Chain A
Amino acid sequence: MSLTLEQSPPASPPAPPAPPRRKRRTSALDTGGAMVWATAGSLSMCLVAIVGLLLLCFFKGSTTFWPQPIHEFELTDGTQVMGEVTRDELFTTEDGRELRRRLVRVGNYEFTGEHFRWITDDQIASESNPEWALMVERRQALERTQAGPFYGTPKALEVDGEAVATQPEEIWKRFNELHGESVDRQLERQDLEKHDVGATNRLSEEARIALREVELRHGVDSPEWAAQEVEYKKVVEDATRRYELVRARIDHLNEENARVRLIMQAADGQEQSTPLADVVRAVPANQLSFAQSVGVYFSRWWEFLSDEPREANSAGGVFPAIFGTIAMTLIMTIMVVPFGVLAALYMKEYAKQGFLISAVRIAVNNLAGVPSIVFGVFGLGFFCYFLGVSIDELFFQANAPNPTFGKGGILWASLTLALLTLPVVIVATEEALAAVPNSMREGSYACGATKWQTIRRIVLPRALPGIMTGVILAISRGAGEVAPLMLVGAVKLAPELPVDGVFPYVHAQRSFMHLGFHIYDLGFQSQNSEAAKPMVFTTTLLLIAIIVLLNVVAIRVRSRLRARFSTSHI
């Protein structure tokens, strides 16, 4: 109605009888048909992209551990090659023919000097899947840097240098009997090396630091130092004695393990003798039943989830990275939530709304857009080099020049990420607080509650689901962030977890492994990039799964809270 009024010409007294205004036909855009398509189309594009990403990670990641058949190729130049086909593609040769080429994982690095090899079909004289082809996954022995898998056929099983079996069936049977105890010995040895040797080293190291502390305080000529030195010598002597005992046990285990060896013959006839203890898993891939394949598949998954990496991270497990990711995310959450919530409370509930608070709010919002690497640089400069070095100077002087806190570590990484996710928590909390109806606050004040009582009993419980949304966003952002971590403590291979059984149990200064960084390392830093590639997808799948898991937990908490504070119906 008012529209017609506006349209009529401005007051000309004897208004001619206005012709009925012609109504424009509603355009296709306005009726909405086109917009339905445009909006729905955009949504489906997003869905396709996301589902595509997840499916890719899922398929590539979940097939990595399925045992593949082992091929043996006789090439036209007379050589023999054995291995798994990892890629299969067609290409056009220079003279225009279409030819198939396959990338074969040939292993046996000590003989071939390569992990993978392209073989085109015109190079092949014959091809077979020998029944007793065996893929031996080897532990990375300390002496060798590159072990990798060995492809071949079993030649013999030796005990004390004497072959106890020479037929493949026989060897396979004896191998399975003996393998278990060899692995047990191997694990015991690793455990001794890691914990007991470490413990004796720690004893003498602590004594040395104590001595150094006395030296710093009283000087070398003081009677205190002399007394401390006697003590130090005693401890070192004791530690040495204990070390000898451990060493003897290790040597014994090593001897035992060296007795039992598997002799393998590669396709080209070269023989390789491997102690059974160094064999992680031997897979007779060409004769596996489906159930056995499933067994191998899950045993590899279990190793992946529970073990440490081998072969420069391209094989084995990622347990330290899983642990590091979760620990870092939790520490980050514990740090960021109280600070973010308190800051938002101040801004929304206490501060006088005005120019200053608006400026702070804009600054916080902008902080959310700062590139994450900038936070990394800040974390390195402030936490590691300033705070950490100061802590070292105050409390860990005896340890100098080795840094304790003055380098990247899980604490500094968590703090850096807490800073990174702080704006997310603040903004979400502020919104949640704003959504609490003022009438509730008034009701509480009218009952004689103080400001803090009102916040604690009315505002916070009511805002909790909204705050949880912020926490969820912060967790997602923090757990997936990699760039800043490279600067403040994530490493390729961490010798120790940040939490272990050694006093004081939590070692916040230690550097740590992180799944995101692990992916980067596998994908771009690996010497054996072809072997690392499938692990990239598997690790990505795992990272996604962990973030989803953390989110699901947080979302469940939130929906519980929601149910408790669901809104009314008047």
Chain B
Amino acid sequence: MFTQNSKMEEELTPHSDPSGKLPARDPGTAATTGGTAPIGGVFEAISRGESFVTETHEELAAEDPVVGIEDFDLHYGATQALFGVSMCVPRGKVTALIGPSGCGKSTLLRSVNRMNDLIDGVQTDGKMTLNGDSIYGRKVDVIELRKRIGMVFQKPNPFPMSIYENVIYSLRIDGVRDKNLLDEVCELSLKGAGLWDEVKDRLNSNALRMSGGQQQRLCIARAIAAEPEVLLLDEPCSALDPIATGKIEDLIDQLRGHYSILMVTHNMQQASRTSDYTAFMYLGRLVEYGPTGEIFMQPKLRETEDYVTGRFG
């Protein structure tokens, strides 16, 4: 797998092609082809409020998308948080969303399972699909939709109940009674989350008594117990210590291939270590999206390079 430490990143000589010759094209038509930055740089164009085209690398065209996002806008009341985001989440791969704080990573992630519906005054525009089924269509049952998507939050949020009940929560609310099935799912999910050996003797003890790292892995177990089609992770390690973070990263590595993962991270090394694809967001726009190696070593846009090398952000 592609791994890289920060030192290497710093030593890299920036390789970019700031052509900046062509004006912005219509965003609807150029989602997957390599684009070019507008005159004066992407960031300035963004701050001027001009539309621009996401720089999407051509490798993505070959991928089978689980989640497709097309020209997606989102408003929190009067303020717009997402501007014409278009991307796809490839099947069986780990995709990382990076970008400075407040650029809309969480907002985009929460849009996928429509958690933003819970916030008053949120308005969306654009298209999103999950395995071809519309997410924002008029007839979509949000509850059924969320059952197809797993989500893990920034802060571990186990429920105030036993470890066992936490893991099988999604089955409980579906009214599954079959004890054998529940036991089996619990064991498989905990094994999948690398937690089985630690908790198999105390499945009935309260989940709130676990350590933070264990709680987060429990949340992952809870998410995969529902056999989700896509797994959303919102900065899953930001509340954890380095050792627990390492365990979660190993876990994400193991889940690769079995699950399609869309992960927000604040941590550049984490993105470079764990993800196959990386998307760079800035002020509500998706700036550049491509294979992690390319984004970190030879991004097409100077702005992406500045960000991944830590020159700003």
Contacts and interface: CB of A to CB of B under 8 A. Distances in A.
Interface stretch (A92-100, A166-174, A257-265, A561-569): A561-569
B241 to A, nearest CB: 10
Interface stretch (A47-55, A67-75, A441-449, A516-524): A441-449
A391 interface: no
Contacts of A568: 158, 208-210, 212, 215
B169 A570 contact: no
The winner among B115, B143, B147, B157 for most chain A CB atoms within 10 A is B157
B160 A462 contact: yes
A342 to B, nearest CB: 21
Nearest to B212: A570
B46 to A, nearest CB: 30
B269 interface: no
A444 B169 contact: yes
A450 interface: yes
Interface stretch (A14-22, A157-165, A413-421, A453-461): A453-461
Interface in A314-338: none
A442 B157 contact: yes
Contacts of B219: 443
Contact of B156 (A442, A453, A461, A570): A570
Given A453-B173, A570-B215, A443 B146 contact: no
B222 interface: yes
A440 B239 CA distance: 16
A353 to B, nearest CB: 8
Contacts, number: 87
Interface string A458-471: 10011000000000
A437 interface: yes
Nearest to B216: A570
Contact of B160 (A447, A450, A458): A458
B110 to A, nearest CB: 9
B157 A437 contact: yes
A458 B169 CA distance: 10
A556 interface: no
A564 B208 CA distance: 10
Contacts of B174: 448
A439 interface: yes
B155 interface: yes
Contacts of A567: 208
B131 interface: no
A439 B153 contact: yes
B151 interface: yes
Nearest to A461: B160
Interface string B180-213: 0000000000000000000000000010111110
B159 A450 contact: no
B118 A449 contact: no
A87 interface: no
A445 B160 contact: no
A456 to B, nearest CB: 10
Given A448-B144, A448-B146, A567-B208, A457 B157 contact: no
Given A447-B169, A447-B173, A442 B118 contact: yes
Interface string B277-289: 0000000000000
Interface string B236-269: 0001000000000000000000000000000000
Interface string B142-171: 011111011101011111110000000110
Contact of B170 (A439, A447, A566, A570): A447
A24 interface: no
B211 to A, nearest CB: 7
A565 B143 CA distance: 27
Contact of A445 (B146, B159, B172): B146
B173 A448 contact: yes
Nearest to A448: B147
B226 interface: yes
B155 A439 contact: yes
B232 to A, nearest CB: 8
B159 A440 contact: yes
B141 to A, nearest CB: 10
A457 B172 contact: yes
A144 interface: no
A25 interface: no
Nearest to B232: A446
Contacts of B107: none
Contacts of A453: 173
B113 interface: yes
Contacts of B209: 566, 568-569
A448 B143 CA distance: 5
A443 B115 CA distance: 10
Contacts of B115: 442, 445-446
A23 interface: no
Given A448-B143, A448-B226, A565-B160, A442 B173 contact: no
Among A444, A445, A453, chain B packs the most CB atoms within 10 A around the CB of: A445
Nearest to A566: B208
Given A565-B208, A568-B209, A570-B215, A443 B159 contact: yes
A445 B118 contact: yes
19 contacts: A352-B120, A440-B157, A440-B159, A442-B118, A442-B157, A443-B222, A446-B153, A447-B226, A448-B145, A448-B170, A450-B143, A461-B161, A564-B160, A564-B206, A566-B209, A567-B208, A568-B212, A570-B156, A570-B211
Interface of A: 352, 437, 439-440, 442-450, 453, 457-458, 461-462, 564-570
Interface of B: 113, 115, 118, 120, 143-147, 149-151, 153, 155-161, 169-170, 172-174, 206, 208-212, 215, 219, 222-223, 226, 239
**Pairs A-B, 4 closest by C-beta atoms:** A448-B147, A570-B212, A446-B151, A568-B208
